[in-house]
Amino acid sequence: MSNLERTLSIIKPDAVERNLSENIKSIFSKNNLSVLDSKKLHISKDEAAEFYKVHQSKPFYDQLCSYLSSGPIEVMILEGKNAITKNRELMGATDPKNAKEGTIRKLYGISIDKNSVHGSDSPDNAKAEINFFFRK
Ligand code: UDP
Ligand code: MG
């Protein structure tokens, strides 16, 4: 298969809390993204700050880190053809109000911060983010 990639997906606290993990994973599998590994965990605010450090200069950084550490999350490695772009398409726009019909954020997102999922946005970030949660 050409361009087989891996990417990191996170099911954020708002979606874990509403028991949406299986629904979201079924969207991935229907679209040929397989879950290679997954785990549920509750990270600290410091860990969230490290994970999201690319956003440290943004006005929403502190709130974002508080939010990601506010409850359990599920992190997973997705693998498939063009997995990074494919996952971003399935997620939809950052703000659920702007997300296309059928996307995860349109279906389940509550607001721009409680938008149900994270997905790596480039090959370099995918590697770094997979390593962050799954370094062996
Ligand atoms: N975010 C926010 N307010 C904003 C922009 C972003 O709370 O004005 C949050 C939102 O949860 C988003 C995350 O910060 O998912 C990371 O932002 P990014 O621009 O990387 O969006 P994404 O890649 O998640 O679509
Ligand atoms: Mg992003």
Looking at all shown ligands, the one closest to residue 63's CA atom is 1
Q: What is the CA radius of gyration of the chain?
A: 14
Burial class (CB in 10 A: 0-12, 13-18, 19+), 44: exposed
Question: Residue 2's pLDDT is what?
Answer: 82
Structural contact between residues 102 and 27, judged by C-beta atoms closer than 8 angstroms: no
Ligand 1 pocket check for 95: Cβ under 6 Å? no
- Rounded to whole angstroms, the Cα distance separating 16 from 117 reads 10
Question: Residue 1's pLDDT is what?
Answer: 58
Task: Write down the domain spans for the chain.
Answer: 4-133
User: For 4-133, which CATH superfamily applies?
Assistant: Nucleoside diphosphate kinase-like domain (3.30.70.141)
Is 118 a residue of the active site? Answer: yes
Averaged over successive runs of 10 residues, the pLDDT of the chain (136 residues) comes to 92 98 98 98 98 98 98 98 98 98 98 98 98 91
Token pair, residue 35, equals: 């879950």
Residue nearest ligand 1's atom 10 by CA: 113
Ligand 1 pocket check for 120: Cβ under 6 Å? no
Ligand 1 pocket check for 60: Cβ under 6 Å? yes
